[in-house]
């Protein structure tokens, strides 16, 4: 019998022949027993006896694993080691075993139980465990091939770990950590713009070889001062890569200072043509990022290669910012096909033709993209005074296939984990079952996940299947009562709130970013607390941001504040929601500017895409609720310069 997750037809055969273990959905009572037991584990409270219903629960093993991990953190001993070993053997390579295995290996290494650690750590990739394994092998006298393994870890440009100290000392005693390798290691850190790490590595570099490396580090840490010295003392040597790295760093923080130093560097030093071109490229790009009105002219001295996407795109953006549509058109027409055929540059080609040749000449160019379900397609449709075409098409919704899928043991576990608010663990089980499935199966999985209310997984599966036309499935509207209340409180349309929510968290109420932004609207706890005080709302605390009833209103009123702070402009408010108000204030134009030109010149690629996607979402959400989609030329009035400070 073929594997049961590869195609719709095979899924149905598996169901018919009983290869899926059918299981009735768990009762809500059992789920609550599981949630309560897991909470006792998290709070380090004594375990209560598990009733039969809980012991038979399909995800009971996750509770067992959680208890083992808790005990491992507090009272590891041989009896616990044996229990963990038995659990891992019984559940290898299931997702439930992964976190426990990692924690156990860390604990074994801390207790120097190398007899158990070494045979179980052959395949580790975690940097800490790699160091532990090196230490264990060294302690056990297993030096066969140890030099190769230790060098592979030593050469990585990573912060030194105490667990690796003995192995690295052994490398030096064996004369394997050669000065040449040490220098290469430092250079790798410098090339990664990590001068602090590079300086930590320099202890292994002979003094005679460290001067150039120290200069490179100085250029990264204090680029203006170091470059000024080189510009005024042309006899001082400097490696091209070091000089270029320092110049890049200065240009990112002070483009005017970099532009001022460039003539001195070019006039006083013998620079290679390659380095000269790189410095000019840096000045032009950073002038464009800073919205210098002269940026377009600076690109005249920069030769664009077909694979230099930054120059190809930003010289056009700089020309648009300065209003030089003739120059923009010329550069667009010289773009490589991979760029020129994108809706972005097809739209701007039409805009440039309209500005230089005439509106009628641009009509067919707009027409080529005006039917796209895309930010630039909508802009083109507005230019033609046409309605939007969302090209929506419902995908097949096969309940039989979804029933077969839902009977798979991994999918059952995923469902129950999701129902118990263990979304990350649910995603691992889901991927184990369906990650390698055919696109048609993934579409059915998207329907199934949506029925569960697991919208993030549903949308992700549609993307994996390249199913973009099922607009209704891709744009669910969860928490309608909460969103309606937040809309009334903040005076912000519901579609705008759903648009931000979809872009920020993909409807995951438990989402947490690297910066600790939390919940559906991805607010920092400090920001949420301040907003709550200003609006006399209940302070949410860090955990409260995972509750939609608290996080959605706070996100909505915060968006309201940003809109009010930025002249009511939606695009400015959204940009500030993503990047902060200070950058948006810097990006305001010197004179009134078309919003599409301003948007195209947002220096942060993430923020530019963020705003464009939310505008697309707003259109889609209106369509989903059978309303006439708002036009972008209404949502995007001209951007005004910042009001003068009186």
| Residue 625 and residue 492 in one domain | yes
What percent of the chain is modeled with pLDDT above 70? 96
| Residue 607 and residue 488 in one domain | yes
252, 488, 534, 545 from 538: Cα distances, Å:
41, 17, 11, 11
Strand, coil or helix: 373: coil
Task: Tell which of 340, 362, 388 closes a domain.
Answer: 340
Q: Which residues are catalytic?
A: 504
**From CA 97, how far away is CA 86, in angstroms rounded?**
11
User: Do 182 and 161 contact (CB within 8 A), yes or no?
Assistant: no
Q: Is residue 290 part of a domain?
A: yes
* Number of structural domains in the chain: 3
pLDDT tens digits, residue range 234-255? 999 999 999 999 999 999 999 9
**From CA 416, how far away is CA 429, in angstroms rounded?**
10
- In this model, does residue 96 exceed pLDDT 90? yes
| Residue 121 and residue 259 in one domain | no
| Residue 155 and residue 260 in one domain | no
Span between the terminal Cα atoms of the chain, in Å = 78
| Residue 484 and residue 627 in one domain | yes
- In this model, does residue 24 exceed pLDDT 90? no
Task: Tell which of 340, 374, 395 closes a domain.
Answer: 340
Residue 200 tokens read as 């930590």
Q: Is residue 179 part of a domain?
A: no
Residue 306, pLDDT score: 66
Q: Is residue 379 part of a domain?
A: no
- In this model, does residue 557 exceed pLDDT 50? yes
pTM: predicted TM-score of the whole model, two decimal places: 0.92
Mean pLDDT over all residues of the chain?
A: 93
How would residue 303 be classed by pLDDT, with cut points 50, 70 and 90?
Answer: confident
Residue 578 tokens read as 């993503």
| Residue 154 and residue 243 in one domain | no
User: Do 186 and 198 contact (CB within 8 A), yes or no?
Assistant: yes
Residues 6+ apart with CB under 8 A from 354: 361, 362, 383
Q: What is the mean pLDDT of residues 380-400?
A: 96
Q: Is residue 575 part of a domain?
A: yes
Q: What is the mean pLDDT of residues 328-357?
A: 97
Q: Is residue 360 part of a domain?
A: no
How would residue 4 be classed by pLDDT, with cut points 50, 70 and 90?
Answer: low
| Residue 111 and residue 227 in one domain | no
- In this model, does residue 34 exceed pLDDT 90? yes
| Residue 518 and residue 631 in one domain | yes
User: Do 85 and 107 contact (CB within 8 A), yes or no?
Assistant: no
**Other CB atoms within 10 A of residue 400 CB:** 12
| Residue 609 and residue 499 in one domain | yes
| Residue 56 and residue 156 in one domain | yes
Range of the domain at 595: 480-635
Q: What is the mean pLDDT of residues 1-19?
A: 43
pLDDT tens digits, residue range 124-153? 999 999 999 999 999 999 999 999 999 999
Q: Is the dihedral of CA 200, 201, 203, 209 positive or negative?
A: negative
Residue 197, pLDDT score: 94
- Long-range contacts of the stretch 188-197 (C-beta < 8 A, 24+): 188/155, 188/157, 189/157, 190/216, 190/217, 190/220, 190/242, 190/245, 191/241, 191/245, 192/157, 193/220, 193/245, 193/249, 194/157, 195/220, 195/221, 197/157, 197/158, 197/159
Residue 301, pLDDT score: 85
User: Do 577 and 586 contact (CB within 8 A), yes or no?
Assistant: no
pLDDT tens digits, residue range 393-430? 999 999 999 999 999 999 999 999 999 999 999 999 99
Task: Tell which of 291, 317, 340 closes a domain.
Answer: 340
CATH number, position 541: 1.10.530.10
| Residue 609 and residue 493 in one domain | yes
Q: Is residue 50 part of a domain?
A: yes
What percent of the chain is modeled with pLDDT above 90? 91
Q: Is residue 615 part of a domain?
A: yes
Buried b (16+ CB within 10 A) or exposed e, 78-91: eebbebbeebbeeb
Give the residue among 258, 265, 324 at the shortest CA–CA distance from 289: 258
H helices of 494-569, in order, are: 494-505, 525-534, 541-544, 548-565
| Residue 627 and residue 548 in one domain | yes
**From CA 149, how far away is CA 146, in angstroms rounded?**
5
DSSP 103-139: HHHHHHHHTT-HHHHHHH-TT--SHHHHHHHHHHHHH
Residue 18, pLDDT score: 38
How would residue 307 be classed by pLDDT, with cut points 50, 70 and 90?
Answer: confident
**From CA 602, how far away is CA 598, in angstroms rounded?**
7
Q: Is residue 419 part of a domain?
A: no
327, 378, 560, 595, 601 from 354: Cα distances, Å:
13, 17, 36, 17, 20
């Amino acid at each position: 019998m073929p594997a049961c997750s590869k195609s719709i037809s095979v899924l149905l055969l598996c169901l018919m022949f009983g290869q899926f273990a059918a299981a009735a959905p768990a009762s809500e009572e059992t789920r609550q027993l599981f949630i309560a037991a897991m909470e006792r584990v998290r709070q380090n409270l004594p375990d209560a006896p598990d009733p039969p219903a809980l012991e038979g629960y399909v995800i009971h093993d996750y509770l067992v694993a959680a208890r083992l991990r808790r005990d491992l953190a507090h009272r590891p001993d041989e009896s616990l080691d044996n229990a963990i070993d038995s659990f891992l053997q019984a559940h290898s390579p299931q997702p439930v075993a992964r976190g426990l295995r990692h924690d156990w290996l860390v604990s074994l290494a801390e207790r120097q139980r190398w007899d158990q650690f070494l045979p179980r750590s052959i395949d580790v990739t975690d940097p800490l465990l790699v160091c532990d394994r090196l230490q264990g092998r060294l302690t056990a006298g297993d030096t066969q091939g140890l030099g190769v393994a230790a060098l592979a870890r030593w050469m990585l440009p990573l912060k030194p770990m105490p667990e690796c100290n003995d192995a690295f000392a052994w490398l030096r005693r064996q004369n394997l950590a050669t000065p040449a390798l040490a220098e290469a290691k430092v250079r790798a850190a410098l090339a990664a713009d990590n001068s602090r790490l590079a300086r930590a590595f320099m202890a292994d570099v002979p003094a005679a070889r460290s001067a150039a490396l120290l200069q490179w580090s100085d250029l990264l840490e204090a680029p203006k001062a170091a470059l000024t010295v080189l510009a005024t003392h042309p006899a001082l040597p400097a490696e091209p890569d070091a000089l270029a790295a320092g110049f890049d760093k200065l240009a990112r923080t002070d483009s005017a200072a970099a532009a001022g130093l460039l003539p001195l560097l070019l006039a006083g030093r013998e620079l290679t043509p390659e380095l000269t071109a790189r410095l000019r490229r840096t000045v032009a790009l950073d002038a464009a990022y800073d919205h210098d009105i002269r940026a377009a002219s600076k690109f005249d001295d920069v030769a664009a290669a077909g694979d230099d996407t930054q120059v190809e795109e930003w010289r056009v953006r700089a020309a648009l910012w300065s209003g030089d549509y003739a120059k923009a058109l010329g550069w667009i027409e010289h773009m490589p096909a991979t760029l020129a055929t994108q809706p972005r540059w097809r739209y701007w080609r039409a805009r440039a033709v309209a500005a230089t040749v005439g509106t009628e000449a641009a009509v067919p160019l707009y027409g080529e993209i005006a039917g796209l379900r895309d930010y630039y397609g909508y802009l083109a449709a507005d230019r033609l005074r046409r309605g939007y075409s969302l090209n929506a098409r419902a995908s097949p919704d096969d309940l039989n296939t979804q029933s077969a899928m839902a009977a798979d043991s991994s999918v059952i576990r995923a469902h129950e984990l999701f129902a118990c608010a263990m979304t990350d663990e649910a995603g691992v089980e889901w991927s184990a079952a369906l990650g390698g499935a055919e696109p048609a199966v993934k579409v059915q999985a998207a329907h199934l996940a949506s029925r569960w209310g697991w919208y993030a997984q549903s949308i992700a599966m549609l993307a994996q299947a390249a199913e973009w036309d099922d607009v209704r499935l891709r744009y669910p509207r969860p928490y309608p009562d909460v969103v309606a209340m937040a809309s009334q409180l903040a005076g912000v349309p519901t579609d705008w709130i759903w648009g931000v929510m979809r872009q920020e968290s993909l409807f995951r109420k438990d989402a947490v970013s690297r910066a600790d932004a939390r919940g559906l609207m991805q607010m920092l706890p400090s920001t949420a607390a301040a907003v709550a005080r200003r609006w006399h709302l209940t302070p949410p605390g860090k955990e409260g941001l995972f509750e939609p009833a608290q996080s959605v209103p706070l996100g909505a009123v915060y968006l309201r504040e940003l809109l009010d702070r930025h002249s009511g402009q939606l695009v400015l408010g959204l940009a500030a929601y993503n990047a902060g108000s200070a950058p948006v204030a810097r990006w305001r134009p010197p004179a009134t500017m078309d919003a599409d030109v301003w948007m195209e010149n947002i220096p942060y690629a993430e923020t530019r895409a963020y705003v464009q996607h939310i505008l697309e979402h707003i259109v889609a959400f209106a369509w989903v609720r059978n309303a006439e989609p708002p036009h972008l030329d209404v949502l995007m009035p001209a951007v005004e310069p910042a009001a003068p400070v009186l």
